Amino acid sequence: MIIPTMTDRRLNDPSPEESLNITAMLDDSLEFLSSLAEGGFILPAVKLLVTVSTIMNPSDWSRIAPLVWYRGLSSGRIDENPSRGGGSGNASGNQEPKALVCFLVMQCAEKNSQDFRAMVEQDMQR
């Protein structure tokens, strides 16, 4: 989804039909993000993060650490892979997404140890 930009003319003199409806745009964005999860986007995104993990710096790891910790391990959708048709007969296929997320968790802990440890300890105390 591409967020529309306003030209200088529209910023200076927006007509009523051209005015930006922030609420509608945020609703569209949330709907789009939800559709990505339902459409099998999570597993390819995890695979991409694993692929580029060697070129990520500590600040990159600190940005993705909450997503990996809070969403990655508990997400039921990460096991869904439409191209395998469920894949229940392939034991190694069922473990691949979990192994990838575990790798990302390990990298978060290694590359950003203090912040990641504090986040995990705080989560464990809840």
Give me 96's structure tokens.
Answer: 């691949």
CA dist 40 and 34 (Å) reads: 11
Tens digits of residue pLDDT in 111-121: 988 889 999 99
Same domain membership, residue 5 and residue 65: no
Whether 109 and 57 share a structural domain: yes
The tokens for 56 are: 């990520």
- Which residue has tokens 């392939």? 90
**Shared-domain flag, residues 19 and 61:** no
**75 and 92 fall within a common domain:** yes
The per-residue pLDDT for 8 is 46
Residue % of the chain over a pLDDT of 70: 65
Q: pTM for the complete prediction?
A: 0.58
pLDDT score recorded for residue 82: 46
Evaluate the CA torsion angle 55, 108, 101, 44 in order and state its sign. Answer: negative
User: Who contacts 94 (Cβ-Cβ below 8 Å, separation ≥6)?
Assistant: 79, 87, 88
74 in the same domain as 113: yes
- Most confidently modeled of 3-7, 90-94, 116-120? 116-120
Residue 19 shares a structural domain with residue 81: no
Domain that holds residue 95: 40-125
Q: Say if residue 81's pLDDT is above 60.
A: no
Same domain, 30 and 88: no
Which has more pLDDT, 15 or 24?
24
The phi, psi pair for 87, rounded to 5°, reads: 60, 25
Category of 85 on φ-ψ map: left (φ > 0), alpha (ψ -120 to 50) or beta:
left
Q: Which residues contact 103 (CB under 8 A, 6 or more apart)?
A: 50, 53
Q: What is the mean pLDDT of residues 32-57?
A: 83
Average pLDDT over the chain reads: 74
**Number of structural domains the chain divides into:** 2
